[in-house]
Amino acid sequence: MGKEASFLPVEGVRLAATAAGIRYEGRNDLALIALPPGSRTAAVFTRNAFRAAPVLVAERHLAACGHAPRWLLVNAGNANAGTGVQGIADAERCCRALAAAVGAASETVLPFSTGVIGEPLPVARIEAALPTLLVRLHPDGWAEAARAIMTTDTVPKLASRQAALSGGMATVTGMAKGAGMIRPDMATMLAFVATDAAVPPEALQAVLRRAVAASFNRITVDGDTSTNDACTLSATGRGPAAETEADLAALEVAVTEVCVALAQAIVRDGEGATRLVTVEVTGGRDEAECLRVARVVAESPLVKTALHAADPNWGRILAAVGRAGLADLDIARVRIAIGEVTVAEGGALAPGYDEAAAARAMDRPEVTLRIDLGRGTATAHVWTCDLSCEYVRINAEYRT
């Protein structure tokens, strides 16, 4: 998912980016996504209690326009969060300015912001940049838009898939931003996914919710959720219809694959990260308890720093499993492995444990921690990364 990540244009969708000078010097920081008439959009938003002004406005506008917005306006560098009543007014003002420029109702514009919390949104700069955005709109604008919405990201994040429907091939393409303040149940991220398929509105929302549950809600970098998280799925209807159960299932697979690719790209690009880590928990009584264990392990600073050093300090994993709060956990039945190397079982170090082999299994760009609870058949996984000195530097200096 590097700088030149490939993508497939989505029929009817146009994108553009420009430099508005919101916070960054010499780079694009404002993006626009234009959807054709007849499009429908589903969305999920952050569960953080301090929901940012653009989240509140976007939710309200989405309902007011019947889930048929025409414009998604995204700025980086300023979150417009923790800005009170003025923040709401500023988000609305941006929507009105764009709507006036295109001759549309302001409710057809959804605003999105990411960046520093608690600072006023420089609305005048955004307004001044809108004419440039409008003339730059292009079906191939995905890569430029993906770069424009980055904050501490080091690479743009794009993914495309296709789904074979009964009426033809449907395209799904998405972009995302995110690198830090990442935690399941919506991470600090923005993601915009589009398809040319024609999808009933209720089905579109259901597809998005399940895709997010299997992707963006399974990642964590540092255990922090954000005020601004949002993920949208827009269907232009310019391609084949997805109305039968089989077609909807095929489309959902493609949407989920795009979301998983973007979610993993966020973790790979975690601030200062050097490893993509899968925490895989099996043998649970239900999925919820497997997820609870996976998240505790994935968010443990001690586990994450050991991962950075490729130090198979299995005691840290064992301790994290033990404090996950599972009732009646029989530690004698728990098995822990790093990759294929069993490190603990029966409540102690595994017989024949090979420390050098475990270190080699951990010293890879992609690492899997396997935890078998030995009390059922349920499974779950979470993707995370290691924790480095660079993470501390980035976040210590974020506002300076």
Residue 151 known to be catalytic: no
DSSP string, 148-185: HT-SS-SS-EEEEEEEEETTEEEEEEEEEE-SSS--SS
Buried b or exposed e, range 301-320, using 16+ CB within 10 angstroms: eebbbbbbebebbbebbbeb
Which of 188, 220, 236, 384 is labelled catalytic?
Answer: 188
- CB atoms under 10 Å from CB of 348, counted, come to 11
The DSSP bridge partners found for residue 279 are 369, 382
Give the Cα separation of 93 and 368 in Å (integer).
47
| Residue in the block written with tokens 């997820």 | 291
Sheet holding 190-195, edge to edge: 40-45, 230-235, 190-195, 168-177, 157-165
CA distances (Å), origin 285, targets 169, 218, 281, 289, 342: 40, 19, 11, 7, 22
**Neighbouring-strand partners of residue 381:** 280
Q: How much of the chain is helix, strand and coil, in % rounded to 5?
A: 35, 25, 40
User: Is the C-alpha dihedral spanning 324, 326, 331, 334 positive or negative?
Assistant: negative
What amino acid positions are annotated as catalytic residues? 188
